[in-house]
Structure 1
């Protein structure tokens, strides 16, 4: 396009290319090698859920952080067309998800993606990927070590969610040495605490003038320079802070869910290790003269 795209727009372009490649790859496998894995039937609907959300987000992010900074001309028209087709693609993938889910419902096949923990895992990982698209701009965090700790938080929690999803989809989570509820509760508690630290550090270091931050939009030269083609860096900092708060809220819901599951599981456990034996002893004593 003969102009600098910027980190955020490059991430949108990468998402579109990856979605196209994976869709072609999955389509070929479904035609010839659909039974290559025992859990293959779970992958297409999981992939479609992710891509529907990703394409919808890129349809929003690309115009806000890239298209509006372009000058009128062929490059701007092409960028607008790309965003429009991304929105259409999102709708088509959403239809794919709805049709697959309806088919699973008719066949009595359980669908993890339509449960509350499954939906939360998808949203948590998607929001983390959107954060990655913004922090690919190294100017957001490079000068301050505290912001690099926030990067470690985002990557650690994303890996944790990805591992939990893979264990669930492959059916290997039942092989864990820990109880399933305790495993998810511990992981969610860890992610919640890490995101609390990121929720404190990121806005504090980015917007507090005493710590080297920029509290006002007009203090960032990339926002007031009319010649820029890659968006306002201050807006990207604010977007990361908002997305961190959104993911923290979802981790709170996830934590409440698994805490409730753990408490319900403990309520159904017997209070004494041998309740039937004790009842038998008391009954025997009652019939003795």
Structure 2
């Protein structure tokens, strides 16, 4: 009798390729991380909820990406598969990085822990760092190489858009609790800068992932250059205005750290906002430089 070959159920290369193996490691490390935390119920408060959300969200979406590529549904879903996986990988890198910093600071450093509970939390932190490392490896492997034609989000300016929105989200968290942008009108301008630039960067990401850049009333390249230049100018004003009105006593600010401050008080949040504003200014500057050098963009 002739031997019948068993047909492959799915695209096994999606799991056995270098990127596929890295994604499997991402899912494994994220699963181990939140499993260790859940086993001992070692998360509490908003910081713990954020860390748990990061690990679970990254695990779930990574499994979804693996499933889509294994079944071969990339061309049947309403998103650009040249842009979505690397965009998610970049966000996952930043999310796991934040969780790898926040969790040990809030659940190990500031608590008197001994024995099994501390060991579990340390192990969870290690695996969270491994998860972050795995996602960063995927970003490095899948980003656009010089001269390669690929999706916009795989280019350096595209990845910088992800960083811009993520940093803005952290600023929103610090600036909203307690409210740190009143009563001076200049501080409200800073809030407007953060919001406008965040929305524009997010619009670019959504247009690229949804393959809707043709909806713009002007050329995509011109839109990117104009908006990035505008963001640089706006963030430059916020970088100057925020420290003046928050740390200069002549404008009602507090130049020194109050003695009543704890480990991370409201004054520390104001400093963090100033630092993050300067960081985002540098990111937008790098985005402007790379956008000007980007010869060919395909979304």
- The two structures have a TM-score, normalised by structure 2, of 0.68
Identify if the C-alpha distance between structure 1 residues 204 and 58 changes in structure 2 by more than 3 Å, giving closer, same or farther: farther
The 5 A counterparts of 1:95-244 are: 95-100=137-142, 110-136=150-176, 138-139=177-178, 141=180, 143-146=182-185, 147-217=187-257, 219=258, 221-223=260-262, 231-244=264-277
Deviation at 1:183, TM superposition (A): 1.1
Q: Check whether the contact 1:8–1:133 (CA below 8 A) recurs between aligned residues.
A: no
- Give me the whole-angstrom Cα distance separating, in 2, the residues matched to 1:3 and 1:50: 22
Deviation at 1:8, TM superposition (A): 5.0
- The two structures have a TM-score, normalised by structure 1, of 0.70
Deviation at 1:47, TM superposition (A): 0.9
Q: Which runs of 5+ in 1 are unaligned?
A: 225-230, 263-289
- Give me the whole-angstrom Cα distance separating, in 1, the residues matched to 2:131 and 2:229: 35
Aligned residue among 56, 60, 65 for 2:97: 56
Deviation at 1:128, TM superposition (A): 1.9
The 5 A counterparts of 1:2-41 are: 5=45, 7-8=46-47, 10-32=49-71, 33-37=73-77, 39-41=80-82
> In angstroms, what is the RMSD of aligned CA positions?
3.4
Deviation at 1:144, TM superposition (A): 3.3
Q: Check whether the contact 1:220–1:233 (CA below 8 A) recurs between aligned residues.
A: no
Please list the CA deviations of residues 105-154 of structure 1 after superposition, one character each: whole Å capped at 9, or x if unmatched: 7xx76253442322322222232233234335x12516535444433322
- Give me the whole-angstrom Cα distance separating, in 2, the residues matched to 1:119 and 1:238: 26
Q: Which has the higher helix share?
A: 1
Identify if the C-alpha distance between structure 1 residues 142 and 153 changes in structure 2 by more than 3 Å, giving closer, same or farther: closer
Q: Which runs of 5+ in 2 are unaligned?
A: 1-40
Q: Which moved more, 1:192-201 or 1:238-247?
A: 192-201
Which of the pair has more CA radius of gyration?
A: 1
Identify if the C-alpha distance between structure 1 residues 115 and 27 changes in structure 2 by more than 3 Å, giving closer, same or farther: closer
- Give me the whole-angstrom Cα distance separating, in 2, the residues matched to 1:154 and 1:54: 19
